[in-house]
Chain A
Amino acid sequence: MKPAALLQGTLDVLILKLLHQEPRTGWAISARLRQMSNEALQVSHGSLYPALHKLEHEGWIAGEWQATETGRQAKVYALTKAGRQQLKRETEQWSRLSNAVSAILESA
């Protein structure tokens, strides 16, 4: 099966969710996304990095340059307080929407 394209806007909430667990680099986020969705979700880097930078400008995540275990400098993103609230809001909205869509799909 071809990897499904992400529904527009869902990438943001997935990033917030992953960063809610722990701070990660961009690469770690992309690897984790692939792994968690059993390679079903393919996030192109062309959309991941712009999304990260946008979230950073919104103030929901904060990037910081840190030394990694291999000793190289990498930009590590962490969820901010405003980001936690945003995650909560978006999660609620997501479940409302998916419930609504499921209800329609199952009744038909």
Chain B
Amino acid sequence: MEPFVERGERDPGVSMRGALLRLRAILWRTRVESELEAELAEHLEREIEQLVRQGRTPAEARREAIATMGRLDEIKEGCREARGTTAWEHFQQDLSFGVRRLGRQRTFTAMALATMALGIGSATAGFSLIDGVLLRPLPFAAPEKLFAAEALGMRGPYATLRAQSRMVDYAAHLGVRAFNTPGREGLERQEGAEVSANFFRVLGVAPRLGRALVDGEDEPGRTRVAVLSDHFWRERFGGRSDAIGQKLQLDEQSFEIVGVMPAGFAYPAASVKVWVPMTLDPRNVGLYWGSGGVSVVGRLRDGVSLPAAVAEMRGWIPRIRSLFPWRMPDAWGTDADGVELREALVSGARVQAWLLFGVVALVLLIAVVNVANLLLGQTAARQAELTMRAALGATRGRLTRQLMTEGLLLATLGGALGAGAAAAQIAALKRLLPADTPRLAEVGLDLRAVCFSLAVAIMAGLLFGFAAARQKKRQRPATGHMLILSEAAFATILLVSAGLLLRSLWLLRQVDPGFAPSGVVIAEVSPSPALIASTAKAAALAGELRESLLAHPGVRHAAVMNVLPLSPEISAFTAAIEDHPRPPQAPQIPLWVTATTPEHLATLGVPLLQGRAFTMGDTAPSAPVVLISQAMARRFWPDRSPVGRRLRAVWQSEWRTIVGVVGDVKNYAMTGPPEWVEGEVYLPMTQAITPPPSLFVAARLAGDASAFSRRLPGLAREVCASCAVTRVLPLEAVVTSATRAPRSLAWLVTGFALLALAMAAIGIYGVVSQAITRRTRELGIRLALGASRGQMASLVLRDGLGATLLGIASGLGAAWLLARGIASLLYGVETHDFASFLAPGFVLLGVAVLASAGPLWRAWHIDPARALRE
């Protein structure tokens, strides 16, 4: 501003002072103003006094002084500008103007705010999901130092590694298992986890009450102790602190309660109610070296990197291998690895979470585009007002700032509403997503999510303001085309994703589970461990249970088995097949195994294809027999009958003879068995390889299933008083819940896609309709000059549909590239499935035609005389 004066270098103290003065001017505006008033008044008084001293009359003096002083308002405005707070004051003016405008235009405001709230709400809910499941550190102390040590598997190797490692503090837990525990209404089944004694110390989580486990409590011969979850403690002990020291019965053994964990602690699973020490007893050789299922978590000691820790672990593998009481294959443990714990926990949910986030992000984009379009329509309509302001001296910058402020105001209000909408959507998401989604409990509307929605709102607001400011000079049809194009593209991507997921869901539902669930009732019967300590005991109990079911009128067939079809839990063993020998070092043959009673096939409705089913004559002392699935028969004996061939568990010497072939059953999941399973077999319960941890009863009924369902727990308890009876369900419910996860995902994505489609339709309608309003005169002239109404209609249609088609094309292109990312979620559908790509294109085109129909009708009925006059 000064042509020759260089500004002094700012010293921070000086600019600090200026900032304080500015702050004062903003916060105490009236005070600063009255000071200015007083200063100028004082000046005037002095001037008058001086003039009086020079000989003027007081009246003359006053007149002259006022005249020399000039316009007070101008001086004041100059002083205000000198304060450097005018930007703030203008902002306040724009803000209050914007608020008044929004209040006047209720329909516009309601539509824009609803759209913003929906868009920002969805995106915030999606962000909370991503944040809670994938991004946020685990709720443990220094979680970045924790890792999952994969492929150790048994207690012995774990205990050895824990004792030897210098770099890592190793803890372990067994998978979640259920215990029988006395509840208010008889025996209950509660889930618990067996953990190493250092488990809580390694994770770095302190109990909220009492103590955690202490080192050494996993050694043999210690008092049985238990740590409760916060939820279980409240439910069972009413949250009283005298729970500590009380006894808890788990599987007929008494445990002393020593501590309660805080509410958020949900490891290894949210369903865990109680943690008890696992026993590490080297004298129990079978359990110590032979039984797997141990998950190992390591905490890096200070200054140790993960690669170094993995190298140390691998270094120990050969020595641990030589400690086994039997010879392990040379390959055992060579694939041992360490993965950051968070990665290991959530890797299964990663694709779903990102898909949902991507979907809601697209919904947000469509919402933003729609509101931008509404705003542009507004800006066009207030051309007169803006021109007037410019004529009255508002600078370009001032007008831009005004539009920016209005955009920000709208977006911020939308963001605040969106945060509210997000709370509701998060609750809905948590209900719809499968309960075993890792870390789902940690998902919630928190400060981070609110900041996210605020940031989104501010970006959207700047975008609105920018678009409006760019457009304020004149209408740009190109802007409208861009809006239609992007909406059509986003909606296409969403529709294609929904199409792919729905198609694979549909195919999944067409899958024949291999059994006939209708009319079958099942239940889980969990005896205390002593009752099923051996195969003979378990088989006897299973036999008694079956007898009691069969005695009930209306039961046509009944069977008792170790595992139900469609069981997410693995039931497998490693086998050798007589005429398919494998070299000793090569992997042997993993087979899925169901141990069951006679009538299994009749009860579940599985066809017998060759040979015979099990009978009461298949007992422990009789010749060992096995049934195999048709798929296994085809795999190993493609051109011969398998009946009469033999197989055995690798660690047993006794051969089992194949006596029959049965239809293929989806024993594990609708998508088939785990890919490492090479075949599926059935054994008589009397000849089971290991006693089952729990029994499942199934009964096929002639009549009413619901009455029998109510009777079933009583029947089972008559046979076995110490059995917990849970999950009394129609077998159909098992089939339904097997497709629950893909179903909820498909419907969620479809819901959002339909929402997007509706918003895109509104957007297209808005743009086309505005274009016609703008072009009424032009169209009137064309009509007057002899254009046919058909030509005009095509002119109007071409406008909107051309952009839509381009949008669909680019959306399909993007979807083509993105589809590979969700390949792991699809079943039976190619990622580039033709129909799933073609259908959304047509749907969107149809919607665009429908959305253009109204405006088209208006264009068709333009009266040239009136259009020209207006």
Interface check A41, CB cutoff 8 A:
no
Q: Which of B66-91 contact A (CB under 8 A)?
A: 68-71, 74-75, 78-79, 81-84
Structural contact, B21 and A75, CB atoms closer than 8 A = no
Structural contact, B4 and A9, CB atoms closer than 8 A = yes
Nearest chain A CB to B5's CB is how many angstroms away? Answer: 5
Decide: A58 near B42, CB < 8 A? Known: A27-B47, A49-B75, A85-B8.
no
Structural contact, A50 and B18, CB atoms closer than 8 A = no
Interface check B22, CB cutoff 8 A:
yes
Interface check A107, CB cutoff 8 A:
no
Residue of chain A at shortest CB distance from B85:
A57
Decide: A9 near B81, CB < 8 A? Known: A26-B39, A46-B75, A73-B42.
no
- Chain A residues with CB under 8 Å of B17's CB are 59
Decide: A44 near B70, CB < 8 A? Known: A51-B82, A53-B82, A59-B17.
yes
Structural contact, A56 and B8, CB atoms closer than 8 A = no
Structural contact, A49 and B3, CB atoms closer than 8 A = no
Decide: A50 near B42, CB < 8 A? Known: A8-B3, A57-B18, A59-B14.
no
Structural contact, A50 and B2, CB atoms closer than 8 A = no
Nearest chain B CB to A32's CB is how many angstroms away? Answer: 12
Structural contact, A82 and B8, CB atoms closer than 8 A = yes
- Chain B residues with CB under 8 Å of A86's CB are 8
- Chain B residues with CB under 8 Å of A80's CB are 14
Structural contact, B39 and A50, CB atoms closer than 8 A = no
Main secondary structure of the interface of B (DSSP, over half): helix
Structural contact, B14 and A82, CB atoms closer than 8 A = yes
Nearest chain A CB to B583's CB is how many angstroms away? Answer: 88
Residue of chain B at shortest CB distance from A89:
B8
Q: Which of A57-107 contact B (CB under 8 A)?
A: 57-60, 65, 72-75, 80, 82, 85-86, 89-90, 93-94, 97
Bound complex: CA A74 to CA B74 (Å): 21
What are the interface flags for B35-67 relative to A under an 8 Å C-beta threshold, 1 for contact and 0 otherwise? 110111011011100100000000000000000
Interface size band for B:
35 or more
Bound complex: CA A50 to CA B74 (Å): 10
- Chain A residues with CB under 8 Å of B235's CB are none
Nearest chain A CB to B17's CB is how many angstroms away? Answer: 4
Structural contact, B45 and A49, CB atoms closer than 8 A = no
Structural contact, B15 and A59, CB atoms closer than 8 A = yes
Determine which of B4, B15, B46, B79 lies in contact with A50 in the assembled complex, contact meaning CB atoms within 8 Å.
B79
Bound complex: CA A95 to CA B802 (Å): 70
Structural contact, B4 and A45, CB atoms closer than 8 A = no
Structural contact, A50 and B5, CB atoms closer than 8 A = no
What are the interface flags for A10-23 relative to B under an 8 Å C-beta threshold, 1 for contact and 0 otherwise? 00110000000000
Interface size band for A:
35 or more
Interface check B579, CB cutoff 8 A:
no
Structural contact, B11 and A82, CB atoms closer than 8 A = yes
Decide: A59 near B39, CB < 8 A? Known: A8-B2, A85-B8, A86-B8.
no
Nearest chain A CB to B79's CB is how many angstroms away? Answer: 5
Determine which of B4, B36, B70 lies in contact with A46 in the assembled complex, contact meaning CB atoms within 8 Å.
B70
Nearest chain A CB to B322's CB is how many angstroms away? Answer: 79
Interface check B385, CB cutoff 8 A:
no
Bound complex: CA A93 to CA B45 (Å): 37
Structural contact, A45 and B82, CB atoms closer than 8 A = no
Decide: A72 near B35, CB < 8 A? Known: A50-B79, A90-B5.
no
Structural contact, B45 and A57, CB atoms closer than 8 A = no
What are the interface flags for B1-35 relative to A under an 8 Å C-beta threshold, 1 for contact and 0 otherwise? 11111101001011101100110000000000001
Structural contact, A9 and B82, CB atoms closer than 8 A = no
Determine which of A13, A27, A97 lies in contact with B46 in the assembled complex, contact meaning CB atoms within 8 Å.
A27
Bound complex: CA A86 to CA B161 (Å): 73
- Chain A residues with CB under 8 Å of B50's CB are 31
Decide: A74 near B42, CB < 8 A? Known: A44-B70, A57-B22, A58-B14.
yes
Bound complex: CA A9 to CA B14 (Å): 20
Structural contact, B84 and A45, CB atoms closer than 8 A = no
Which among B22, B46, B69, B84 has the highest number of chain A CB atoms within 10 Å?
A: B46
- Chain B residues with CB under 8 Å of A51's CB are 82
- Chain A residues with CB under 8 Å of B22's CB are 57
Structural contact, A45 and B6, CB atoms closer than 8 A = no
Residue of chain A at shortest CB distance from B47:
A27
Bound complex: CA A94 to CA B2 (Å): 12
Determine which of B18, B21, B70 lies in contact with A45 in the assembled complex, contact meaning CB atoms within 8 Å.
B70
Q: Which of A19-45 contact B (CB under 8 A)?
A: 25-27, 30-31, 44-45
- Chain B residues with CB under 8 Å of A45's CB are 40, 43, 68-70, 75
- Chain A residues with CB under 8 Å of B2's CB are 8-9, 12
- Chain A residues with CB under 8 Å of B8's CB are 60, 82, 85-86, 89
- Chain A residues with CB under 8 Å of B71's CB are 46
Which among A27, A30, A44, A74 has the highest number of chain B CB atoms within 10 Å?
A: A27
Residue of chain A at shortest CB distance from B38:
A73
- Chain B residues with CB under 8 Å of A25's CB are 42-43, 46
Decide: A12 near B5, CB < 8 A? Known: A45-B75, A46-B74, A75-B35.
yes
- Chain A residues with CB under 8 Å of B35's CB are 65, 75
Structural contact, A27 and B42, CB atoms closer than 8 A = yes
- Chain A residues with CB under 8 Å of B21's CB are 56-57
Residue of chain A at shortest CB distance from B45:
A72
Bound complex: CA A90 to CA B5 (Å): 6
Nearest chain B CB to A97's CB is how many angstroms away? Answer: 5
Residue of chain A at shortest CB distance from B14:
A59
Nearest chain A CB to B565's CB is how many angstroms away? Answer: 81
Decide: A93 near B43, CB < 8 A? Known: A50-B81, A56-B21, A82-B14.
no
Residue of chain A at shortest CB distance from B71:
A46
Determine which of B13, B18, B40, B84 lies in contact with A49 in the assembled complex, contact meaning CB atoms within 8 Å.
B40
Structural contact, A57 and B84, CB atoms closer than 8 A = yes
Bound complex: CA A32 to CA B74 (Å): 23
Nearest chain B CB to A51's CB is how many angstroms away? Answer: 7
Bound complex: CA A10 to CA B6 (Å): 12
- Chain A residues with CB under 8 Å of B42's CB are 25, 27, 72-75
- Chain B residues with CB under 8 Å of A44's CB are 70
- Chain A residues with CB under 8 Å of B39's CB are 26, 49, 74-75
Interface residues of A (CB under 8 A from B): 8-9, 12-13, 25-27, 30-31, 44-47, 49-51, 53-54, 56-60, 65, 72-75, 80, 82, 85-86, 89-90, 93-94, 97
What 11 new A-B contacts, CB under 8 Å, besides A46-B71, A73-B42? Answer: A8-B3, A9-B3, A26-B43, A27-B42, A27-B46, A44-B70, A45-B40, A47-B78, A49-B36, A49-B39, A75-B38
A-B contact pairs, 18 of them (CB 8 A): A9-B2, A12-B2, A13-B5, A25-B43, A27-B46, A46-B70, A46-B78, A47-B78, A49-B40, A50-B79, A50-B81, A53-B79, A53-B82, A57-B21, A57-B22, A57-B84, A58-B18, A72-B42
Would you list the 10 A-B pairs with minimal beta carbon distance, nearest first? A50-B78, A9-B2, A59-B14, A54-B82, A53-B82, A27-B46, A27-B43, A59-B17, A50-B82, A53-B79
